[in-house]
Structure 1
Amino acid sequence: MCEKMINLHESIGDLKSLVMLDLYGTQIEELPDSICRLSSLKYLILGPGSSLENLPKSIGDLKSLVDLDLHRTQIEELPERIRRLSSLGKLILNGCVSLRKLSKLPSTLTHLKVESCISLQKLPSLSSLKNLRELNLSNCKMLEEIQGLEATKSLVEFSLYDCDTIETLPEVPLTLTSLKIESCFSLQKLPYFSGLKNLRDLVLSDRDKLEEIRGLEATISLEEFSLYDCDTIETLPELSSTLTSLKIKSCFSLQKLPDFSVLKNLRELFLSDCDKLEEIRGLEGTESLEKFGMYHCKTITDTPRKRLGQGKLLVDLFSGSYSLNLNDGIYKGLILCLVFELDINEQGRRRNTGKDIIYIHHFKGFDWFGFPLKGIDAIEEISVQGRDCDVKFWKLLPENTETDQRMVADFF
């Protein structure tokens, strides 16, 4: 690594067979115009770390250039002739904090990454980028709009993070397979999803003003959906039967979920900190469910003197936690008795509420806090955990004789 290099000699342009020029970690301040004579150059890596502020105006003469990496340079703007780079496929502008504007980009681009360009206010229209497949816009705090997104006919991955001043999005291209929109606090309205027949992965988070998600039920290829920190969402529309993973966290206004009985392919379901969530319907109809986690959903679990449950469980005495490992072959029948003690936190101190949840397993099937789950041989572990809930005591009793019923009564 040539950390003290600050310039290149003009003779660099005589290396007609040079394919890659990597100036990573140097202190290059300026590129000679002769670099544009490198007719075989395919990869030009100018960052991170250089002090480069401008590119040569004749940069467009590099007709073989495929990859241009300006990561964490001091570039302020790109020359107009950059659109003449007729082979350019990837442009990386991550961390170009001085970049104020972008010129029209070459139509050959397939990957465009613009991250932490905190001075960038405007992008050129993307409508000419017919070959663009991946677009990543992240932490561009002053970026106000995205034009021409709907015309990018080849786009499959679009990520938008921490772009605080964007208020609206145009319609997104129907070719998308992955869409991630996170921490865009001014964005009030999402595009209509019904036309996204190829969408497989959807992530929405930190959307304080989002009240509805439109057209989600028509995303017939959707496999993974994550919804985080969307405080104003109260209900979700019907979900595609192709869904395999659903994760919902810190949606404090969410009260109602769609019926899960149609989600025959759902393998994992995680719900966390959804305080107003009242019920989960149709969970017994999910034929492929392998992982189910629910944390701090108080409206569902915080019911005094609740009697629920059925199943055959074996307590893991040596795990150091209140985990219950299923073993369907050791006993013909079991009665599991659990008492949960509920606390509240007041000024840093925990106080007992005087409310307990009594949980009893003693009949066929399996039921966890009111959610019947079929196919118990597919469930390996149930974990009981929470900041405001302790297991007060528990006991495991064999279910065979009339004496067992008196044992349960004695337990309480």
Structure 2
Amino acid sequence: MAEGFINSSDNRHWHENNMSFNKLENLRTLIIKGSVSSSAMDHLFGATEKYHKLRVLDLSWTCKILPKSIGDLKHLRYLDLYWTEVAELPVALGKLYHLQVLMTPRSRARIPRSLRNLISLRHYEGDDKALTTIPDIGRRLTSLQTFPEFHIKKEKGYDIGQLRNLNGLRGTLSIWNLENIEGKDKAVEANLKNKEYLESLVLKWGCRDEREFRRDLDREVLEGLQPHPNLTELTIHGYKSPEFASWLPLQNLRSLKFEICTGLEDFPPMIDLFPHCQSLKIWSLPNLSRFPLLPLSLKELEISYCGSLMFVSKEEVEERVEEDILGGKKKIELIVPSSLQSLMIKDCDITEGALSQSLGRLTSLKSLVLYGINTITTLPSEEILHHLTSPDITNSSKNV
């Protein structure tokens, strides 16, 4: 297989190399490194008809303008523009019907709608939001295996059904603006339960007018977004219903994150539904009044901005705690598994007794972060903290 490499820092040999490449009609791979003048690029792309067998083109650190003659490289399979300074991709790029890998400029170049014609495209790397600006992208590029973000709009060509046939998706998929889905029947059109290669799923609801909000709508939508049981990471953001979907459990889940889920008051029994979960992160659940029994496999736990809870020790659950300390908050015993290696409690309330009780169990703990906890004035004794192999203890309270 014929290959060509040009290090354009040696400008003396550029035209000499280019002339020799013009003779290589069987050239399949061309890699150009370094800054190249516009005249040199014109010279190169002015002879695209000679590179009719080219499969791989890497223009890293090369050009600021991509000539429209790029569309003449009909058999191109791989195009790397990531480290270029191209500000706008030409419409002619949509003629590369056999292109399988496209790496767009890191500087968020303008993307033409003609990219929806790249029917063979499998892998995309660049601005995560770029592809989602193109209407009907999912119905056209059914071979996609990487599609980092999809933003739902109440416009034709941007509906959740765009994801229906993308069953080859791998890695992470983030679905934004779920508030634009009208109900379960529409959410089912995403066909997430048949995306067996998807590893990580992020479900995001945006801001809504509380006066027009139906509390049961989020539940209906989540019900329709049932993922494949192979999923290992799940993030739910902005969910406002007080209940979960019935498609739990997810036996293979390793990481679970809840962010700004203001409607949630209770957690599902994690030890039964997520027996292999290793990471649980809870951020801004202001109405949470119960805390789950955690799985024995858990290694990382983060609890932030859960203002309705007061974590207490086993003894304090039975005792009457002073009202000025509780402030109307729900007393919860924090029971953590001994497997835990990292613990963060931020802007939540926990008594000194509860902290000592929890840390006394954690023989594998490596990192402890305490921040914004006004109910603690002193840290536990060295005897309790001696398990920390890599201490990382912070607290915003000036008395600690």
Q: Identify the TM-score tier after normalising by the shorter chain.
A: 0.5 to 0.7
Among 84, 91, 105, the alignment partner of 2:102 is 91
Distance in 1, Cα, partners of 2:350 & 2:100: 60
User: Where in structure 2 are there 5+ consecutive unaligned residues?
Assistant: 1-6, 209-216, 312-320, 337-341, 384-400
Match of 1:236 in 2: 244
Whether the 8 Å contact between 1:194 and 1:219 is mirrored in structure 2 is yes
Deviations 1:103-135 (A, max 9, x none): 6645543323463xxxxxxxxxxxxxxxxxxxx
Match of 1:387 in 2: 372
Distance in 1, Cα, partners of 2:70 & 2:332: 74
The aligned runs of 1:331-350 (5 Å cut-off) are none
Shift of 1:265: 0.8
Shift of 1:221: 1.3
Counterpart residue type for residue 42 of structure 1: R
Match of 2:394 in 1: none
Whether the 8 Å contact between 2:124 and 2:147 is mirrored in structure 1 is no
Distance in 2, Cα, partners of 1:310 & 1:50: 57
Distance in 2, Cα, partners of 1:397 & 1:52: 62
Match of 2:218 in 1: 211
Whether the 8 Å contact between 2:45 and 2:70 is mirrored in structure 1 is no
Match of 1:102 in 2: 114
The aligned runs of 1:279-358 (5 Å cut-off) are 279-283=290-294, 286-301=295-310, 304=323, 305=325, 358=351
Please give the TM-score of this superposition, normalised by the length of structure 1. 0.60
Whether the 8 Å contact between 1:290 and 1:378 is mirrored in structure 2 is no
Distance in 1, Cα, partners of 2:265 & 2:168: 32
Shift of 1:48: 4.9
1:76 lines up with 2:86 in the alignment: no
Deviations 1:162-217 (A, max 9, x none): 78887522243334343422655885465353334443321234633582422466
- 3-state DSSP of counterpart to 1:389: coil
Deviations 1:310-360 (A, max 9, x none): 999xxxxxxxxxx99xxxxxxxxxxxxxxxxx99xxxxxxxxxxxx96553
Distance in 2, Cα, partners of 1:99 & 1:311: 51
Distance 1:396 1:32, change over 3 A: closer
Match of 2:54 in 1: 41
* 245-254 or 102-111, which deviates more: 102-111
Distance in 2, Cα, partners of 1:181 & 1:265: 23
- 3-state DSSP of counterpart to 1:51: coil
Among 279, 282, 304, the alignment partner of 1:268 is 279
Distance in 1, Cα, partners of 2:63 & 2:19: 18
Whether the 8 Å contact between 1:21 and 1:44 is mirrored in structure 2 is yes
Match of 2:36 in 1: 26
Match of 1:160 in 2: 149
Distance in 2, Cα, partners of 1:90 & 1:311: 48
- 3-state DSSP of counterpart to 1:292: strand
Distance in 1, Cα, partners of 2:37 & 2:352: 67
Distance in 1, Cα, partners of 2:123 & 2:299: 36
Whether the 8 Å contact between 2:310 and 2:351 is mirrored in structure 1 is no
Distance 1:358 1:280, change over 3 A: closer
Q: When you count helix as a share of all residues, which structure comes out higher?
A: 2
The aligned runs of 1:133-212 (5 Å cut-off) are 137-139=128-130, 142-148=133-139, 152=142, 155-160=144-149, 167-170=158-161, 171-172=163-164, 173-181=166-174, 187-188=180-181, 190=187, 191-205=190-204, 207-208=206-207, 211-212=218-219
- 3-state DSSP of counterpart to 1:385: strand
Match of 1:121 in 2: none
Distance 1:288 1:155, change over 3 A: same
Shift of 1:160: 1.0
Distance 1:274 1:384, change over 3 A: same
Match of 2:397 in 1: none
Distance in 2, Cα, partners of 1:223 & 1:51: 40
Whether the 8 Å contact between 2:68 and 2:93 is mirrored in structure 1 is yes
1:246 lines up with 2:241 in the alignment: no
Counterpart residue type for residue 26 of structure 1: V
Distance 1:309 1:256, change over 3 A: closer
Whether the 8 Å contact between 1:182 and 1:207 is mirrored in structure 2 is no
Q: What's the C-alpha RMSD, in Å, of the aligned pairs?
A: 4.5
Match of 1:226 in 2: 235
User: Where in structure 1 are there 5+ consecutive unaligned residues?
Assistant: 116-136, 313-322, 325-341, 344-355, 399-412
Distance 1:244 1:80, change over 3 A: closer
For the pair shown, the structure with the greater C-alpha radius of gyration is 1
Distance in 1, Cα, partners of 2:174 & 2:266: 23
Distance 1:109 1:25, change over 3 A: same
Distance in 1, Cα, partners of 2:176 & 2:303: 24
Match of 1:335 in 2: none
Among 10, 16, 32, the alignment partner of 2:25 is 16
**Aligned pairs, number:** 319
Deviations 1:278-304 (A, max 9, x none): 212333xx2312222212211122894
- 3-state DSSP of counterpart to 1:194: helix
Please give the TM-score of this superposition, normalised by the length of structure 2. 0.62
